[in-house]
Chains A and B, each alone.
Chain A
Amino acid sequence: MAIADVKEYTHLTEEEVEQLGRELDAIRAEVEESRCDADAAYINRMIRVQRGLAAAGRATLLAGLHSKKTRTPAWIAGASLLGVAKILENMEIGHNVMHGQWDWMNDPEIHSSNWEWDTAQPAEQWKHSHNYVHHQFTNVLGHDNDIGYGVLRMAREQKWHPYYLGQPVYNALLAGLFQWGVALHDLDLEAIRKGKKDPVEMKRQLRQIGRKGRNQVIKDYLVYPALSGKQWKSTLKANATANLARNLWSYMIIFCGHFPDGALHFTEEELEDETRAEWYLRQMLGSANFEGGRLLHILSGSLGFQIEHHLFPDLPSNRYPEIAVKVRALCEKYDIPYTTGPLHNQYGQALRTIMKLSLPNSMTSSDKPEPPSPSIDRGRRTDAERPTRRTETGAYYRKQTA
């Protein structure tokens, strides 16, 4: 079901919700005050390690080609190093830097306004579609384009259509081609289909995607293979493998953020006069964590702390574990669900929802805790139709194109 009023749903009084908001504000203030050398060292170390892995991966691939004996082990090692480097670059570094988590360091080289990541979507478009639209309107049907990414039916309230029978296939394609799916995300194909997209803006975005995508393709599928001479095919395959691994991994992690059972959807009524505290509450109810060791969390861009990330998207990711302890305690205190579980569990639930919702609601039962509300068929909102943005979602800055 979709929630139209979180206060009513959680049985918290208005004062209790505001009190919770103040407690969360205090956590935020405490972390902001205590950011220091150790945090700066963390992101610098991540960047060093990532670039080291990427360079090592490329070098291993090229060096291993010369003898038949080393070719296969070098291929495996090189592709793995490169894959891990790409995962780290996209998740713990790119995603978090572009949220403005490291802007406080005043370092133009690690700043949300300058960062460009190793994936097909231009950073600027990502900052709009993700940082602004998704983080502000988290899980609000019609407002948050991340619900199903315009491809999948991920909420029972979304009207069923025979098209969705192919959902298992679309899902597999989305997983494998994730970076290209993401690249098109901010274009908003639905708005284009409905003729609601500004053609000037569309052209500008397409050019930007074209430029970015071309450079990415040239690097992985032309230049490095060309440097490998006769063995170009082997390098090309290794690069494709690394990209595929990164696509599958980031797809899986991202689907664990809001689609496991327990993560709720909301209707736009909830947005009316929503206070900051209610926004916090919506983030907590709409997100889901997964459990794991430090390494798993780093490789997933700290998105195993999705709840904490959605409450404080621009606080440094290395602080999420300590924030999580406090947020969890607050959830217990206020009797709010804190959705978490092992990674396979969380993804398994998301996958089950994908499969189930390819069929009409009458043929399936709901995984969500409450009975379904009437179905809605609202199109996506344009920026003008969305309420004013919240700035705690971090930096989003689009250069003026007068």
Chain B
Amino acid sequence: MTPRTLTWGGVRTAGNKLTTPLHPDDYLRLLNPLWSERELRGRVEEVIPETDDAATLVIRPGWGWRYDHRAGQYVGIGVQVDGKFQWRSYSVSSPPRRRGRTISITVRAMPEGKLSAHLVNGLEPGTIVRLASPSGDFVLPDPPPAKMLFLVGGSGITPVMAMLRTLDRRQTMPDVVLHYSSPTAERMIFRDELAELESRHESLTVHRLHTDTEGMLSLSGLDGLCVDWRERETWACGPAPMLDAVETHWERAGLDERLHLERFSLELGGDGGEGGTITFQTTGKTAEVDGATTVLEAGEAAGVGMPYGCRMGICHTCTLTLVSGTVRDLRNGNEFAQPNEQVQTCVTVPVGACTLDI
């Protein structure tokens, strides 16, 4: 007789018979909100102020979370504000640790950002939030390249911090140059920790630029800052104009292969498609939107019963059939223009008029 192993997952699957049409998790989460795999969730354990307008949230994820994110990736966080879950993505600033119990994200309150301000100032430890799995290609390769350059502006430091912490923890800090622009010294997130890392690792050089007094980074002066930048694998993260300039500069140098960019275009919008009129075929509703409003948001605003899930392009629950017209994927600029193409409404914006089957 072969011994059968009783797994926790197996027990829960068997439990479905007792709780159908619900899952055992739907009951278990009433005992402890983290005891459910239905939706990834986490409890805010600590809110650590970093600067006047930025804070690190230490979150203990619940069941179903795998601590296998790669340094530099971002996670989605959903917080209930006025009864409604609002989702944003933030870089994980803690290094990946398989046996970890918490993850941390660092959030800067944006002047117009209702949710970021809420996260920084209003979130009490103990709050239950929703999480979306780590995602993104802005990651540290393993093993890391011998020479690295980080070009960082403002809260663009958060994914880079996860990479630096990982290199530090593994004791594999290669030759790293970090250029960090921030309006003032006070607004620099992680400034003390960076100083400490710098003192511990001879191979780490940190340039600090205070743009309020010293002006913006001029890429023409890059040779003066980092002579061998052409030989380095480069990661850049920060405001869109800075990234545009970096991208052009590297392209001109014929080095775009060595450049990794992280754009927070989903939050900032602005540089997506041109916008246009979306027609929802079955419901007969239409929406006139700009290039920063996703098809999903437009449909919801127009009162269409849109299917949706993670709202960040991961789960594909929101996928609908494009009947005609063109939509553009905000994440990579890919265009979908074939009739009957399946498009993820949560990350696409219309390019001119388009029609969806719902």
Contacts and interface: CB of A to CB of B under 8 A. Distances in A.
Interface of A: 35-41, 48, 51-52, 55, 58, 100, 103-109, 112-113, 116-118, 212, 215-216, 218-219, 223-224, 388-389, 391-392, 394-397, 400
A36 B285 CA distance: 26
B285 A39 contact: no
Contacts of B21: 116-118, 212, 215-216
A41 B284 CA distance: 33
A223 B305 contact: no
Given A55-B27, A118-B21, A215-B21, A35 B303 contact: no
Nearest to B310: A108
9 contacts: A104-B84, A106-B85, A106-B311, A108-B317, A113-B308, A218-B17, A219-B20, A391-B305, A394-B305
A216 B83 contact: no
**5 tightest A-B contacts by CB?**
A395-B305, A40-B83, A116-B21, A106-B85, A215-B20
Contacts of A389: 282-283
Contacts of A35: 82-84
B194 interface: no
B300 to A, nearest CB: 9
A105 B83 contact: yes
A64 B358 CA distance: 51
Given A52-B30, A55-B27, A37 B17 contact: no
A397 B20 contact: no
Interface of B: 17-22, 26-27, 30, 38-39, 78, 80, 82-87, 282-285, 303-305, 307-309, 311, 317, 321, 357-358
A216 B20 contact: yes
B280 to A, nearest CB: 9
Q: Give the most central of B39, B83, B84: most A CB within 10 Å.
A: B83
B26 A223 contact: no
A96 to B, nearest CB: 15
A105 B358 CA distance: 21
Contacts of A391: 283-285, 303-305
* B interface, over-half SS: loop
A40 to B, nearest CB: 3
Contact of B30 (A40, A51, A224, A396): A51
> Most chain-B CB neighbours within 10 Å: which of A48, A107, A388?
A107
Contacts of B26: 51, 109
Nearest to A39: B83
Contacts of A104: 83-84
Given A51-B27, A219-B19, A391-B284, 20 more contacts: A37-B80, A37-B83, A40-B80, A41-B83, A48-B30, A51-B22, A51-B26, A51-B30, A103-B305, A104-B84, A108-B39, A116-B22, A118-B21, A118-B22, A219-B20, A223-B18, A389-B283, A391-B305, A394-B305, A400-B321
A113 B85 contact: no
Q: Give the dominant DSSP class at A's interface.
A: helix
Contacts of A395: 305
B17 A397 contact: no
Central interface residue in A103, A108, A394, A400, by most chain B CB within 10 Å: A108
A350 to B, nearest CB: 30
Contacts of A397: 305, 307, 358
A319 B26 CA distance: 26
Contact of B84 (A105, A108, A109, A218): A105
B82 A37 contact: yes
A223 B83 contact: no
A113 B307 contact: yes
A211 B304 CA distance: 29
A271 B300 CA distance: 27
A218 B20 CA distance: 9
A105 B130 CA distance: 13
Contact of B305 (A37, A113, A118, A388): A113
Given A51-B30, A218-B17, A219-B18, A105 B80 contact: yes
B30 A109 contact: no
Contacts of A224: 18
Contacts of A37: 80, 82-83
A105 B18 contact: no
B309 A106 contact: no
A235 B22 CA distance: 20
A361 B193 CA distance: 88
A301 to B, nearest CB: 18
